[in-house]
Amino acid sequence: MNINKKYIIIFGILILLLVFITGAITYYNEKRAESGDSLFPIPEEKEYLIWCHEDGIRYDCSNKEFFKSGESVVITINLTQFDNIPYDPYFPCWYTDLEGGSEKQCISRSASSLAGFVLKNQIIPEDKEIFTLLKFTVYPDNNFEEADGITIMDLTGKLIR
């Protein structure tokens, strides 16, 4: 009878340990998934930040002019810092030469209440000496006519050879 109690206690402890470990792993994975966007926060005091990734390390490279081909960057934009947007409401468009977003993107509804946005997983191109990191243009309506557009920001970078 004592042997049965000992095995029942050991078995119960193992089950509790398994439940605890499974719960801890699930909690950790959910927290990591939630914090994915917070890894690249929209800047509060600046108009934009550029984040570079190298060997698993993320660092602010906003003042960097030269980039390596294949380097991964994330650009975060704070629209509330731009005092020179003359339209209210306005319709934003952005363009980049970086791989992962190489065509003009526009928001078809007014973004006047939009605080900012994040361009993730952008890769520095291999074939351009000078490239557009981000060109940000606003329009007074959703017709996006080039004549009405005002370029608010035009960031360029140069390739290290």
Query: Which range has the worst mean pLDDT, 27-41, 73-87, 122-136?
Result: 27-41
Q: Are residues 58 and 112 in the same domain?
A: yes
Band of pLDDT at residue 35, cut at 50, 70 and 90 = very low
Q: Are residues 55 and 68 in the same domain?
A: yes
Q: Are residues 16 and 89 in the same domain?
A: no
Q: Which domain holds residue 101?
A: 40-160
pTM above 0.85, yes or no: no
- Would you state the pLDDT for residue 12? 92
Judge whether 89 and 40 are in contact, CB under 8 Å: no
- Would you state the pLDDT for residue 32? 59
- The closest alpha carbon to 76, from 43, 52, 114, belongs to 43
- Average pLDDT value for residue range 95-109: 78
Q: Are residues 31 and 46 in the same domain?
A: no
Whichever domain contains 126, its CATH number is: 2.60.40
Alpha carbon 159 to chain centroid, angstroms: 22
Q: Are residues 25 and 51 in the same domain?
A: no
Burial 95-112 (b: 16+ CB within 10 A, else e): bbbbbebeeeeeeeeebe
Q: Are residues 78 and 24 in the same domain?
A: no
* Type of residue at 4: N
Tell me: the pLDDT tens digits for 83-100?
777 887 888 888 888 886
Q: How many CB atoms lie within 10 A of CB 118?
A: 15
- Average pLDDT value for residue range 133-155: 86
- Is 80 exceeded by the pLDDT of residue 41? no
- Is 80 exceeded by the pLDDT of residue 139? yes
Strand 91-95 relative to strand 130-139: parallel, antiparallel, unpaired?
antiparallel
Q: Are residues 85 and 127 in the same domain?
A: yes
